[in-house]
Chain A
Amino acid sequence: MKILKAFAAMAALFVMAACSNTNNENANAASTTVTPGSVADFRQNVGDRVFFDTDQSTIRQDGRDVLNRQAEWLKKYTNYQITMAGHCDERGTREYNLALGERRANAAKQYLVAQGIPASRIQTISYGKERPDPVGSDEAAWARNRRAVTELQ
């Protein structure tokens, strides 16, 4: 019985991973294997985003774990330029959120720089509350929207 449960959980993970691949050109939807060093590898195995508390730009412990992994990966795959995009939930005014998103992007950038990623590789941009992901007006959606996303070019 226990084994069956564990198997069901793994199957669920497998399906979720496959779903998250569908946006990536290089991803093979039939399996979770992605090309090491690809954008899909970064998103899936490293994590492309960190989250913030309301009206804050301090990198939380969960964010540090993600950024540490990002720094290791980026040191290995030096061919990528990075845009750090800061975002906010909808519960602030448009202009203040542009500034807050910039502050979040800058905080994540500075963390990566402190881990040895050259500042020249990272540009920042703020989308304020203009690009929600996910679209929603509840606590769960807001928590996911207070984010800095590492975009690879």
Chain B
Amino acid sequence: MLLPRRTTLLGGAALAAGAAAPFAPAQAQLTIDMSRPTFEPVPIAVVDFSGDRVGADMANVIRNDLQNCGLFRSISPSAFVQKDINATAPPRFPEWRSIGAAGVVVGSIQSVGGGIKVDFRLWDVVVGQQATGLSFTSQQSNWRRLAHIIADAIYKRVTGEEGYFDTRIAYVGESGPGNARVKRIAVMDQDGANNRYITDGKTIAITPRFSPTLQEIVYMAYPDGRGAPRVFLQNVDSGRRELLGNFPGMSFAPRFSPDGSRVVMSIAENGQSDIYEMDVRGRGLRRLTNSPAIDTSPCYSSDGSQIVFNSDRGGAQQLYVMSASGGGERRISFGSGRYATPVWSPRGDWIAFTKISSGGFGIGVMRPDGGGERMLASGFLVEGPTWAPNGRVLAYFQGQPSSAGRAGAVTLHQVDITGRFDRQIPTPTDASDPAWSPLIPQ
């Protein structure tokens, strides 16, 4: 596959830059301070890209990415005043100000040697100059990825944070009757496009987790016949699958280390579940906990030096942090209720978790020392947080109650770290256990 090659579009500063209109007080700015808890969505106009039949589709992908992240409001093209906008010349800023846009995105596509060259610019309508611009060459079939990469560049320019649109989500696709659900691993683009299944559904496969470095996942699957469920490693693109360790007891709850070289998991034996670390290449196994309790759902810290996990060693399930080589275990959750599925943010600043209390299930975050706990989502059953690679957005799954023998609906959701913006991620079937990929290598 010809990967997108990018060059920064220099120049192109607007002729009108010096003559920028005085800011009207109500005019939205083309910047978002992510540390401020109350921000308004930035109104942005994305014009259909010119020069190729995929131009309108690319603009749609960009609009959806920006709108769905909650930080932008995509202005409907039917409201655009300037219809003759040129992809390289500055737009007529007053006409875009008149519809309330803070930014205008334009792009053009040219055929070059069997592929396409895409130029895009983000114009800051408020100050009247180019905010950012990039140029890519790639195969035309990569147009979706190019659109996500452009949306990421816009997100980064406006928020100062890395984007997360050029990513995938692995999850468990669920279908069939409640007492005999088919559960198979699916992978799709972050926006729901290109959905496909990478296990056949003959046996239950659950808890997929992405490698932070490669397009590989680990997950647990039941055997076809007798034997314990085991952990598998599978390449998302090639489909190549390997068994990670053949233990007498069930191995489950796998998760990669930040550098992708190790997998931490639980192995159950005689009613006791402990945490082990496996070296992916050499398959060396190291035991990290040894308690009669249930120790599971381990997850490395973003720097790889520590592991957070849940354990019922103190009675009810709580969160504990230990050294990545085992030892030094200390409890970090002290609120009422049971705490589970801790997941360290890739930025290192938060640990997301599932909390179970008498009122139901919730998704929350706390600081790695256990402080600053706040809840982001709640419901009859919400579970399984996973971080987008920028550590500012999470996905989780939500189950509705079953009734009259019918399984309740199970859906994927995303929520930003403030908990303000929550939306359902569309999937072709019921869906659980989301796992966000890293940014796809370019």
A→B interface (CB under 8 Å)? 55, 57, 83, 90-96, 98-100, 102-103, 106-107, 110, 123, 125-127, 130-137, 141, 153
- Taking CB atoms, residues of chain B closer than 8 Å to A123 are 226
CB <8 Å contact, A98 and B250: yes
Binds A, one of B41-49, B175-183, B278-286, B326-334: B175-183
Which among A57, A90, A135 is the interface contact of B405 at CB below 8 angstroms?
A135
B→A interface (CB under 8 Å)? 177-181, 183, 204, 206-207, 220, 226, 228-229, 249-250, 252-253, 266, 268, 270-273, 294, 296-297, 310, 312, 316-317, 338, 340-341, 354, 356, 380-381, 383-384, 399, 401-403, 405-408, 432-433
CB <8 Å contact, B179 and A83: no
CA distance A11 to B220 in the complex (A): 47
- Taking CB atoms, residues of chain A closer than 8 Å to B383 are 93-94
A94-B384, A96-B297, A137-B402 given as contacts; is B271 within 8 A of A107 (CB)?
yes
CB <8 Å contact, B179 and A133: yes
A96-B297, A96-B310 given as contacts; is B206 within 8 A of A130 (CB)?
yes
CB <8 Å contact, B204 and A136: no
CB <8 Å contact, B403 and A102: no
CB <8 Å contact, B294 and A90: no
Which among A93, A99, A103, A127 is the interface contact of B341 at CB below 8 angstroms?
A93
Which among B183, B268, B354, B380 is the interface contact of A102 at CB below 8 angstroms?
B268
B433 and chain A: residue at smallest CB distance:
A94
Given A94-B207, A99-B273, A135-B406; 19 other pairs, CB 8 A cutoff: A55-B316, A90-B381, A91-B381, A93-B383, A94-B206, A95-B296, A96-B317, A98-B250, A102-B273, A103-B273, A103-B294, A110-B271, A125-B229, A131-B181, A133-B179, A135-B178, A135-B407, A136-B403, A137-B401
Tell me, rounded to whole Å, the shortest Cβ–Cβ distance linking B410 to chain A.
11
- Taking CB atoms, residues of chain A closer than 8 Å to B406 are 135
Tell me, rounded to whole Å, the shortest Cβ–Cβ distance linking A41 to chain B.
23
CB <8 Å contact, A99 and B294: yes
CA distance A91 to B381 in the complex (A): 8
CB <8 Å contact, A131 and B179: yes
Question: Is the contact region of chain B dominated by helix, strand, or loop, or is it mixed?
Answer: strand
Residue of A91, A98, A127, A153 with most chain B CB atoms under a 10 A cut-off: A98
CB <8 Å contact, A130 and B204: yes
CB <8 Å contact, A126 and B268: yes
Tell me, rounded to whole Å, the shortest Cβ–Cβ distance linking B237 to chain A.
26
B270 and chain A: residue at smallest CB distance:
A106
CB <8 Å contact, B297 and A93: yes
A81 and chain B: residue at smallest CB distance:
B226
Tell me, rounded to whole Å, the shortest Cβ–Cβ distance linking B346 to chain A.
20
CB <8 Å contact, B271 and A57: yes
B341 and chain A: residue at smallest CB distance:
A93
CA distance A99 to B310 in the complex (A): 12
| 20 residue pairs from A and B, CB less than 8 Å apart | A83-B226, A91-B356, A92-B340, A93-B310, A93-B384, A94-B432, A95-B266, A95-B340, A96-B310, A98-B296, A103-B271, A103-B294, A110-B271, A126-B229, A127-B204, A131-B180, A132-B179, A132-B407, A135-B402, A135-B405
CA distance A126 to B228 in the complex (A): 8
- Taking CB atoms, residues of chain B closer than 8 Å to A93 are 297, 310, 340-341, 354, 356, 383-384
CB <8 Å contact, B271 and A106: yes
CB <8 Å contact, B297 and A95: yes
CB <8 Å contact, B252 and A98: yes
Tell me, rounded to whole Å, the shortest Cβ–Cβ distance linking A51 to chain B.
17
A95-B266, A125-B250, A130-B181 given as contacts; is B297 within 8 A of A137 (CB)?
no
CA distance A134 to B178 in the complex (A): 9
CB <8 Å contact, B294 and A134: no
A83-B226, A135-B402 given as contacts; is B183 within 8 A of A130 (CB)?
yes
